Structure 1
Protein backbone atom coordinates (compact mmCIF):
# COMPACT_ATOMS: atom_id res chain seq x y z
CA UNK A 1 0.00 0.00 0.00
CA UNK A 2 1.45 3.38 -0.97
CA UNK A 3 1.90 6.01 1.67
CA UNK A 4 -0.70 8.62 0.75
CA UNK A 5 1.21 11.48 2.38
CA UNK A 6 4.31 10.70 0.31
CA UNK A 7 2.19 10.46 -2.84
CA UNK A 8 0.46 13.77 -2.10
CA UNK A 9 3.74 15.54 -1.40
CA UNK A 10 5.13 14.16 -4.65
CA UNK A 11 2.08 15.42 -6.55
CA UNK A 12 2.43 18.90 -5.08
CA UNK A 13 6.15 19.01 -5.82
CA UNK A 14 5.66 18.01 -9.46
CA UNK A 15 4.68 21.61 -10.14
CA UNK A 16 8.01 23.38 -9.84
CA UNK A 17 7.76 26.37 -7.47
CA UNK A 18 10.25 28.28 -9.63
CA UNK A 19 8.17 27.67 -12.76
CA UNK A 20 4.92 28.48 -10.94
CA UNK A 21 6.27 31.73 -9.54
CA UNK A 22 7.62 32.82 -12.92
CA UNK A 23 4.14 32.74 -14.45
CA UNK A 24 2.92 35.65 -12.31
CA UNK A 25 4.12 39.22 -12.54
CA UNK A 26 5.97 40.39 -9.43
CA UNK A 27 2.94 42.57 -8.61
CA UNK A 28 0.52 39.62 -8.88
CA UNK A 29 2.88 37.37 -6.94
CA UNK A 30 3.06 39.86 -4.04
CA UNK A 31 -0.71 40.45 -4.17
CA UNK A 32 -1.38 36.69 -4.06
CA UNK A 33 0.86 36.28 -0.99
CA UNK A 34 -0.80 39.24 0.75
CA UNK A 35 -4.28 37.87 -0.01
CA UNK A 36 -3.16 34.60 1.60
CA UNK A 37 -2.21 36.47 4.77
CA UNK A 38 1.56 36.32 4.25
CA UNK A 39 3.99 39.08 5.17
CA UNK A 40 7.35 39.73 3.52
CA UNK A 41 10.28 40.02 5.92
CA UNK A 42 13.97 39.17 5.77
CA UNK A 43 13.67 38.27 2.09
CA UNK A 44 10.89 35.67 2.44
CA UNK A 45 7.12 35.36 2.66
CA UNK A 46 5.63 33.92 5.85
CA UNK A 47 2.21 33.59 7.45
CA UNK A 48 3.32 31.47 10.40
CA UNK A 49 6.48 33.40 11.14
CA UNK A 50 9.88 31.74 10.93
CA UNK A 51 10.30 29.95 14.28
CA UNK A 52 13.97 29.23 13.50
CA UNK A 53 13.47 25.47 13.43
CA UNK A 54 15.23 23.22 10.90
CA UNK A 55 11.92 21.98 9.44
CA UNK A 56 10.67 25.47 8.53
CA UNK A 57 10.26 26.42 4.87
CA UNK A 58 8.95 29.87 3.93
CA UNK A 59 5.96 30.54 1.75
CA UNK A 60 6.14 29.59 -1.89
CA UNK A 61 3.73 29.41 -4.76
CA UNK A 62 3.47 25.70 -5.54
CA UNK A 63 0.93 25.76 -8.35
CA UNK A 64 -0.76 28.28 -10.59
CA UNK A 65 -3.67 27.15 -12.72
CA UNK A 66 -7.28 27.95 -13.48
CA UNK A 67 -9.04 25.63 -11.05
CA UNK A 68 -12.65 26.66 -11.74
CA UNK A 69 -12.56 27.34 -15.49
CA UNK A 70 -13.21 31.09 -15.27
CA UNK A 71 -10.11 32.00 -17.29
CA UNK A 72 -8.30 33.54 -14.31
CA UNK A 73 -5.49 31.93 -12.29
CA UNK A 74 -5.64 30.43 -8.84
CA UNK A 75 -2.46 29.98 -6.81
CA UNK A 76 -1.72 27.35 -4.19
CA UNK A 77 0.64 28.87 -1.64
CA UNK A 78 2.37 26.63 0.90
CA UNK A 79 4.50 27.07 3.98
CA UNK A 80 6.15 24.27 5.90
CA UNK A 81 7.33 23.20 9.31
CA UNK A 82 6.17 21.04 12.18
CA UNK A 83 6.28 23.98 14.61
CA UNK A 84 3.40 25.65 12.78
CA UNK A 85 1.68 22.73 11.06
CA UNK A 86 2.18 19.71 13.33
CA UNK A 87 2.83 16.23 11.98
CA UNK A 88 1.51 17.19 8.54
CA UNK A 89 4.31 19.74 8.24
CA UNK A 90 2.53 21.81 5.61
CA UNK A 91 -0.01 24.60 5.50
CA UNK A 92 -1.69 25.80 2.32
CA UNK A 93 -3.79 28.68 1.08
CA UNK A 94 -5.61 28.88 -2.23
CA UNK A 95 -6.09 32.38 -3.65
CA UNK A 96 -7.92 33.41 -6.80
CA UNK A 97 -7.41 36.36 -9.11
CA UNK A 98 -10.67 38.28 -9.42
CA UNK A 99 -12.14 40.03 -12.48
CA UNK A 100 -11.03 43.40 -11.08
CA UNK A 101 -7.40 42.20 -10.81
CA UNK A 102 -7.36 41.78 -7.04
CA UNK A 103 -6.62 38.46 -5.32
CA UNK A 104 -9.04 36.74 -2.94
CA UNK A 105 -8.37 34.10 -0.28
CA UNK A 106 -10.56 31.10 -1.17
CA UNK A 107 -9.56 28.49 1.43
CA UNK A 108 -6.63 27.15 3.38
CA UNK A 109 -5.56 25.03 6.28
CA UNK A 110 -3.13 22.44 7.52
CA UNK A 111 -2.45 19.62 5.08
CA UNK A 112 -1.61 18.91 1.49
CA UNK A 113 -4.36 19.73 -1.02
CA UNK A 114 -5.03 17.38 -3.91
CA UNK A 115 -7.57 18.48 -6.50
CA UNK A 116 -10.12 15.85 -7.46
CA UNK A 117 -12.10 15.37 -10.67
CA UNK A 118 -15.40 15.86 -8.81
CA UNK A 119 -16.65 19.43 -8.60
CA UNK A 120 -18.73 21.74 -6.47
CA UNK A 121 -20.65 24.90 -7.35
CA UNK A 122 -19.16 27.01 -10.15
CA UNK A 123 -16.82 24.28 -11.37
CA UNK A 124 -14.51 24.41 -8.33
CA UNK A 125 -12.80 21.04 -7.83
CA UNK A 126 -13.26 19.04 -4.65
CA UNK A 127 -10.12 19.04 -2.52
CA UNK A 128 -8.75 16.08 -0.61
CA UNK A 129 -6.66 17.34 2.31
CA UNK A 130 -3.79 14.90 2.81
CA UNK A 131 -1.79 14.37 5.95
CA UNK A 132 -0.82 11.62 8.34
CA UNK A 133 -3.17 8.65 8.44
CA UNK A 134 -5.38 6.80 6.01
CA UNK A 135 -8.72 8.65 5.90
CA UNK A 136 -8.65 12.20 4.55
CA UNK A 137 -11.25 14.96 4.52
CA UNK A 138 -12.70 16.01 1.19
CA UNK A 139 -13.99 19.56 0.93
CA UNK A 140 -16.44 20.87 -1.68
CA UNK A 141 -17.13 24.46 -2.75
CA UNK A 142 -20.73 25.44 -1.92
CA UNK A 143 -20.66 28.79 -3.71
CA UNK A 144 -19.30 30.70 -0.70
CA UNK A 145 -16.76 28.42 1.00
CA UNK A 146 -15.12 25.03 0.93
CA UNK A 147 -16.91 22.78 3.45
CA UNK A 148 -16.48 19.19 4.55
CA UNK A 149 -18.10 16.86 2.03
CA UNK A 150 -16.85 13.50 3.29
CA UNK A 151 -13.72 11.43 3.84
CA UNK A 152 -11.82 9.10 1.52
CA UNK A 153 -8.72 7.01 1.12
CA UNK A 154 -7.46 6.04 -2.32
CA UNK A 155 -10.78 7.16 -3.82
CA UNK A 156 -12.96 5.07 -1.47
CA UNK A 157 -15.21 6.45 1.25
CA UNK A 158 -13.91 5.98 4.78
CA UNK A 159 -14.72 7.08 8.33
CA UNK A 160 -12.03 8.78 10.42
CA UNK A 161 -11.27 7.11 13.72
Structure 2
Protein backbone atom coordinates (compact mmCIF):
# COMPACT_ATOMS: atom_id res chain seq x y z
CA UNK A 1 0.00 0.00 0.00
CA UNK A 2 1.20 3.51 -0.69
CA UNK A 3 2.60 5.01 2.49
CA UNK A 4 0.44 8.00 3.27
CA UNK A 5 1.12 10.73 5.77
CA UNK A 6 -2.53 10.66 6.78
CA UNK A 7 -2.23 8.05 9.48
CA UNK A 8 -4.00 10.39 11.88
CA UNK A 9 -6.64 8.04 13.21
CA UNK A 10 -6.71 7.76 16.98
CA UNK A 11 -8.66 4.48 16.89
CA UNK A 12 -9.98 2.31 14.12
CA UNK A 13 -13.70 1.57 14.01
CA UNK A 14 -15.17 -1.84 14.80
CA UNK A 15 -15.37 -4.33 11.89
CA UNK A 16 -19.08 -3.64 11.21
CA UNK A 17 -18.39 0.11 11.07
CA UNK A 18 -15.43 -0.50 8.77
CA UNK A 19 -17.68 -2.46 6.41
CA UNK A 20 -20.24 0.39 6.40
CA UNK A 21 -17.47 2.89 5.59
CA UNK A 22 -16.09 0.77 2.74
CA UNK A 23 -19.57 0.23 1.29
CA UNK A 24 -20.36 3.96 1.42
CA UNK A 25 -17.02 4.61 -0.32
CA UNK A 26 -18.23 2.38 -3.17
CA UNK A 27 -15.87 -0.48 -2.34
CA UNK A 28 -16.71 -4.14 -2.85
CA UNK A 29 -15.28 -7.08 -1.00
CA UNK A 30 -12.92 -9.48 -2.80
CA UNK A 31 -11.83 -12.26 -0.49
CA UNK A 32 -10.44 -10.57 2.62
CA UNK A 33 -9.91 -7.13 1.06
CA UNK A 34 -12.13 -4.22 0.11
CA UNK A 35 -11.61 -2.65 -3.31
CA UNK A 36 -12.79 0.66 -4.71
CA UNK A 37 -11.36 -0.30 -8.12
CA UNK A 38 -12.73 -3.79 -8.74
CA UNK A 39 -10.95 -4.01 -12.11
CA UNK A 40 -7.44 -3.59 -10.62
CA UNK A 41 -5.41 -6.59 -11.86
CA UNK A 42 -2.93 -6.46 -8.93
CA UNK A 43 -5.08 -5.24 -6.06
CA UNK A 44 -3.60 -3.85 -2.87
CA UNK A 45 -7.01 -3.24 -1.36
CA UNK A 46 -8.54 -0.14 0.13
CA UNK A 47 -7.61 1.12 3.59
CA UNK A 48 -9.19 3.44 6.12
CA UNK A 49 -6.49 6.08 6.45
CA UNK A 50 -8.34 8.45 8.76
CA UNK A 51 -11.20 8.01 11.21
CA UNK A 52 -11.93 11.02 13.41
CA UNK A 53 -14.16 14.07 13.77
CA UNK A 54 -12.84 16.64 11.30
CA UNK A 55 -15.56 19.29 11.51
CA UNK A 56 -16.34 19.34 15.25
CA UNK A 57 -19.89 17.96 15.01
CA UNK A 58 -19.17 15.02 17.33
CA UNK A 59 -19.38 12.42 14.53
CA UNK A 60 -16.38 10.91 12.74
CA UNK A 61 -15.31 11.44 9.18
CA UNK A 62 -13.23 8.89 7.30
CA UNK A 63 -10.79 8.90 4.42
CA UNK A 64 -10.49 5.65 2.49
CA UNK A 65 -7.60 5.25 0.05
CA UNK A 66 -6.45 2.70 -2.47
CA UNK A 67 -3.32 2.40 -4.58
CA UNK A 68 -3.02 1.31 -8.19
CA UNK A 69 -2.51 2.68 -11.68
CA UNK A 70 -5.27 0.73 -13.45
CA UNK A 71 -8.06 3.03 -12.22
CA UNK A 72 -6.05 5.99 -10.94
CA UNK A 73 -3.40 6.45 -13.64
CA UNK A 74 -0.44 8.68 -12.89
CA UNK A 75 -1.96 9.63 -9.53
CA UNK A 76 -1.34 5.99 -8.47
CA UNK A 77 -3.96 6.34 -5.73
CA UNK A 78 -7.61 7.09 -5.19
CA UNK A 79 -9.58 8.36 -2.22
CA UNK A 80 -13.07 8.74 -0.81
CA UNK A 81 -13.99 11.14 1.99
CA UNK A 82 -17.01 10.15 4.07
CA UNK A 83 -19.00 11.62 6.94
CA UNK A 84 -21.11 9.79 9.50
CA UNK A 85 -24.66 11.13 9.43
CA UNK A 86 -26.97 11.72 12.43
CA UNK A 87 -28.89 8.51 11.60
CA UNK A 88 -25.66 6.46 11.79
CA UNK A 89 -25.26 5.97 8.03
CA UNK A 90 -22.19 7.08 6.08
CA UNK A 91 -22.28 9.62 3.24
CA UNK A 92 -19.59 10.01 0.60
CA UNK A 93 -18.66 13.69 0.39
CA UNK A 94 -16.10 13.41 -2.41
CA UNK A 95 -13.84 10.93 -4.15
CA UNK A 96 -11.35 10.79 -7.00
CA UNK A 97 -7.78 10.10 -8.03
CA UNK A 98 -4.98 11.34 -5.79
CA UNK A 99 -4.34 11.53 -2.07
CA UNK A 100 -6.72 13.63 0.04
CA UNK A 101 -5.08 15.39 2.97
CA UNK A 102 -7.11 17.55 5.39
CA UNK A 103 -5.80 21.08 5.87
CA UNK A 104 -6.16 23.63 8.68
CA UNK A 105 -8.30 25.97 6.54
CA UNK A 106 -12.03 25.24 6.60
CA UNK A 107 -15.14 25.53 4.48
CA UNK A 108 -18.85 25.44 5.32
CA UNK A 109 -19.89 23.42 8.34
CA UNK A 110 -16.31 23.36 9.65
CA UNK A 111 -15.19 20.76 7.10
CA UNK A 112 -11.48 21.10 6.37
CA UNK A 113 -10.19 22.02 2.96
CA UNK A 114 -8.52 19.05 1.27
CA UNK A 115 -5.25 19.12 -0.60
CA UNK A 116 -5.43 16.52 -3.38
CA UNK A 117 -1.88 15.28 -3.82
CA UNK A 118 -0.41 13.52 -6.79
CA UNK A 119 2.53 13.85 -9.14
CA UNK A 120 3.96 17.30 -9.70
CA UNK A 121 4.38 20.41 -7.60
CA UNK A 122 1.03 22.20 -7.71
CA UNK A 123 -1.98 20.57 -6.09
CA UNK A 124 -5.67 21.42 -6.10
CA UNK A 125 -7.26 22.42 -2.83
CA UNK A 126 -10.98 21.70 -2.60
CA UNK A 127 -13.42 23.31 -0.15
CA UNK A 128 -16.79 22.13 1.19
CA UNK A 129 -19.51 24.63 0.18
CA UNK A 130 -22.31 22.99 2.18
CA UNK A 131 -23.28 20.57 -0.61
CA UNK A 132 -20.03 19.37 -2.20
CA UNK A 133 -16.29 19.81 -2.33
CA UNK A 134 -15.31 22.21 -5.14
CA UNK A 135 -11.98 23.52 -6.44
CA UNK A 136 -10.93 26.52 -4.40
CA UNK A 137 -7.25 27.14 -5.20
CA UNK A 138 -3.91 25.52 -6.05
CA UNK A 139 -1.02 25.27 -3.60
CA UNK A 140 2.42 23.81 -3.16
CA UNK A 141 3.98 23.75 0.31
CA UNK A 142 1.43 26.31 1.51
CA UNK A 143 2.05 28.80 -1.29
CA UNK A 144 -0.22 29.61 -4.24
CA UNK A 145 0.81 28.07 -7.55
CA UNK A 146 -0.46 27.68 -11.09
CA UNK A 147 -0.82 24.15 -12.47
CA UNK A 148 1.29 23.30 -15.49
CA UNK A 149 3.93 25.94 -14.75
Q: TM-score, normalised by structure 2?
A: 0.91
Q: Structure 2: any 5+ residue segments left out of the alignment?
A: none
Task: Give the one of 91, 106, 109 matched to 1:119.
Answer: 106
Provide the aligned length of Structure 1 versus Structure 2: 147
Unaligned regions of 5+ residues in structure 1, if any?
A: 1-5
Structure richer in helix, relative to its length: 1
1:36 equivalent in structure 2: 25
Find the residue that maps to 1:61 and give its secondary structure. Answer: strand
Aligned-partner SS, 1:87: helix
After the TM superposition, which segments of 4 or more aligned residues of structure 1 sit over 2 Å from their partners? Answer: 50-53
1:29-59 Cα distance to aligned partner (Å, 9 max, x none): 1111111111112221112115323xx4101
Q: Once the two structures are superposed, what CA deviation does each residue of 1:61-94 show, in whole Å capped at 9, x if it has no partner?
A: 1111111110111111111111111122110001
Deviation of residue 106 (structure 1)? 0.9
Instruction: Work out which structure has the larger RCO, using CA pairs closer than 8 Å and 6 or more positions apart in sequence.
Output: 1
In structure 1, the partner of 2:139 is 152
Once residues 145 and 30 of structure 1 are traced to their aligned partners in structure 2, the CA distance between those partners, rounded to angstroms, is: 24
CA contact (8 A) 1:74 1:94 kept: yes
Q: Which residue is 1:11 aligned to? A: 5
Query: What residue is the counterpart of 1:51 in the other structure?
Result: 40
